[in-house]
Amino acid sequence: MARTLLAIPVYNEAKYVERVLGRVLEYVPDVLVIDDGSSDATPSLLAQFPVEVIRHAHNRGYGRSLMDAFRWAAVDRFDWIITMDCDEQHEPASIPDFLKAIDSDELDVVSGSRYLNTHPENDAPPEERRQINGLITRELNSRLGLSLTDAFCGFKAYRVSALEKLTLDVDGYAFPMQFWVQAVAAGLRIGELPVRLIYNDATRSFGGPLDDHDHRLTHYRSVLARELENQATTLSRRCLA
């Protein structure tokens, strides 16, 4: 059986962290929490659970938290890492589905999708978030030959040895732009797994200028364009192979 780490980035999640960790630990014994500089009660609440913790002295970004988790998994010789959010928008009850996909040993990236299947209890996402997700997902599919339905879902399973082929350095929420380009350039096997669409707080902030729809879309496209340029030679070779 594959040795699997479950990693959860958190930032001021005192409202949710106890319930989420209590449920997650029912499914997996090895849990890593990356506290991205929380200023609320999150750090003291984490101390109540048998989990490993990486603590950032200040907020460094969602992408940085994921990269730290990937490094931890590699150093501690895990075979797979599952990532999920801590705001109760990812159901711990879906963890066994990811573990089953891991056991099948057919993919390098198992990406949760909130749009692959229509669940009767799905929530309606904020329209501007759904719009950006759809636009970027279509652009990624067009440029990379993918067939993703959800480019931004953070509920994923990654083969740790496959991640070692990537050179990721985008700290913020544009992290998926770089990840998908490098994953294709590295020839990783990618598949999606349906997860429920949950939006329990439509007011959650991306922080600073990224809360503006147009600015966020421009930023994502800029990171995507830069990474496509960086990987152009490798992608070209792969397409010709």
Cα(195)–Cα(197) distance, rounded to whole angstroms? 7
- Yes or no: say if 98 and 193 are a contact pair by the CB < 8 Å rule: yes
pLDDT of residue 40: 96
181-191 pLDDT per residue, tens = 999 999 999 99
Q: Please give the model's pTM, rounded to 2 decimal places.
A: 0.91
- pLDDT tier for residue 131 given thresholds of 50, 70 and 90: confident
Q: Which helix (H) or strand (E) holds 33?
A: strand 31-35
Tokens of 187: 């020839």
Tokens of 114: 């909130």
65-119 pLDDT per residue, tens = 999 999 999 999 999 999 999 987 888 999 999 999 999 999 999 999 988 876 5
Domains and CATH numbers, the chain: 4-240 (3.90.550.10)
pLDDT surpasses 80 at 213: no
Mean pLDDT estimate for the chain? 91
